[in-house]
Amino acid sequence: MKRSLYALLVLLLGSAAFAQTTITVAAGAVGQELELTRAAAQRYMEQNPGVTVNVLETPDLSDNRLSVYLQLFEARSPEVDVFQIDVIWPGDLAEHFVDLYEYGAREVADEHFPAIIENNTVDGRLVGIPWFTDAGLLYYRTDLLEKYGYDGPPTTWEELTEMAQTIQDGERAAGNPDFWGYVWQGNSYEGLTCDALEWVASFGGGSIISPEGVITINNPAAIDAVELAASWVGTISPNGVTSFGEEEARNMWQAGNAAFMRNWPYAYSLGNAADSAIAGNFDVSPLPAGPGGSPAATLGGWQLAVSRYSANPEVAADVALFMASYEEQKIRAVEGSLNPTIMALYEDAEVLEAVPFFGSLYDVFINAVARPSTVSAPDYAAVSRAFYTAVHSVLTGTETAADAMAIAEADIQDITGLETGAPTAD
């Protein structure tokens, strides 16, 4: 009798403790991200009946998302347990996250791209488990290229400018006054740093700060690159591109109102969805190169990190590792064309069938240009801000490219105290 009572008590206490575990995941909502994360949370809950996983929707623009996170960190809030963090944040935010190596990440870490694991490791602590990686791609309309007699996607920016203009003129004459040649991300935010880094790097203008810690942004190639981009605004790109983020560009593209788009891989599966006006009529290629340069794609991507202020870090870490596991990354790759960070998935037949370019553009993902977040840590956010503000002022016509790059150089020097110099050829 006594024993059965005791057992009952244990059962009650145990289940009560279990039923109380709620894990909140702060996740992105760009494209299908939110639906995919919710579905993953559902699967986790089915396997772990004692845990409730809530998914918290966060702002689309990464700068705004960072603001939300920082407010939670300042308050040491246990409200959010798992954070989706950008590839450039581990250095700045490491102090707010637990070391995932202490929660069982050691066994899975070497399945992921070593470069990303290294990026997420701060002072030997793994602060985030890689979730998906990103690289800038050129989306192009296969039907329109054929219609205007082009054999394939442009390989230089000059070609892109010319092709975009021709197609835009043709489509406008054919009765679509809302048609534009090229859409991209020109708002004053982190996304512009990504786009502009691609222009600059593909012109042979370096990567803002070299890995050796030399500020290289103020050079003729970089100035030419930014100048070219500014010339697109109002000609082949809408004036409003200076307030475009990823989703604004994708909406225009997916409505069939653009010939080319620069975006991340997530736009691929959405572009082929049933409600897309351009399903089956587009493909992706590496971004074009500048004169004397080679194509460059900015490395992006998101990690899952567990808050140090979480009430249940063990369960939270388990959720994070579950969501970044082989099976889950495979679902996200097939359904959402989100690049896996697990190398073996790039050889998985089902993944390659759903997203063929994961195979054909594998080199683009491997060789993507990293933003200078490591060399400028913990001030990367300020450096990036100085850069995109300067580029944005050229796009809106308030500064010349030469002045803007000089301003950016001086700003970055004030922030980091690093030396300035010319970019080294790679």
Partner 1 sequence: MENANGLEAAASVTPTPKRRPPSRLVRVEQRTAWLLLSPTFVILAVIALYPFAQVVYSSFTNAKFASSTETRFVGLDNYRALFAFTIKELPPRLDEDGEPVLRDGQVQYESWVSVLPRQPQRFRQVFQFSLLGKRYVLGAVSAEFIRAVWDTVVFTVVAVFFETVLGMIIALTLAGNFPGRGLMRAAMLVPWAVITVVSARIWEWMLQPTRAGLFNTVGSYLGLSEGRTDFFGNPTLQLPSMIMMDVWKTTPFMALLLLAGLATIPSDIYEAAKVDGAGPLRRFFRITVPLLRPTLAVALIFRTLDSLRVFDIFQVVLGNQRYSMASFAQDMLVSRRDLGMSSAASMVIFVIIFVFALIYIRMLRVDTR
Would you tell me which residues interact with partner 1 (CB under 8 A)? 61, 63-64, 66-67, 70-71, 73-74, 95-96, 177-178, 187-189, 234, 238-240, 242-243, 252, 257, 381-382, 385, 389, 392, 396, 398, 400, 402-403, 406-407, 410-411, 414
**Closest distance to partner 1 from the beta carbon of 52 (Å):** 27
Q: Which two tokens stand for residue 395?
A: 């796009």
Distance CA 390, CA 179 (A): 28
**Closest distance to partner 1 from the beta carbon of 294 (Å):** 31
Nearer to partner 1, 368 or 404 (CB): 404
**Closest distance to partner 1 from the beta carbon of 139 (Å):** 18
Nearer to partner 1, 63 or 283 (CB): 63
Phi first, then psi: give them for residue 222, nearest 5 degrees: -65, -40
Exposure string over 24-60, b if 16+ CB within 10 A, otherwise e: bbbbbbbbbbbebbbbbbebbeeebeebebebbebeb
Nearer to partner 1, 82 or 381 (CB): 381
306 bridge partner residues: 82
**Closest distance to partner 1 from the beta carbon of 227 (Å):** 15
Q: Which contiguous run of DSSP H or E holds residue 311?
A: none
Token look-up 């604004």 returns 248
Q: Which two tokens stand for residue 2?
A: 């006594």
Distance CA 414, CA 412 (A): 5
**Closest distance to partner 1 from the beta carbon of 318 (Å):** 26
**Closest distance to partner 1 from the beta carbon of 303 (Å):** 18
Nearer to partner 1, 141 or 332 (CB): 141
The secondary structure of residue 344, as a DSSP letter, is G
Return the percent helix, strand and coil in the chain, to nearest 5. Answer: 50, 15, 35
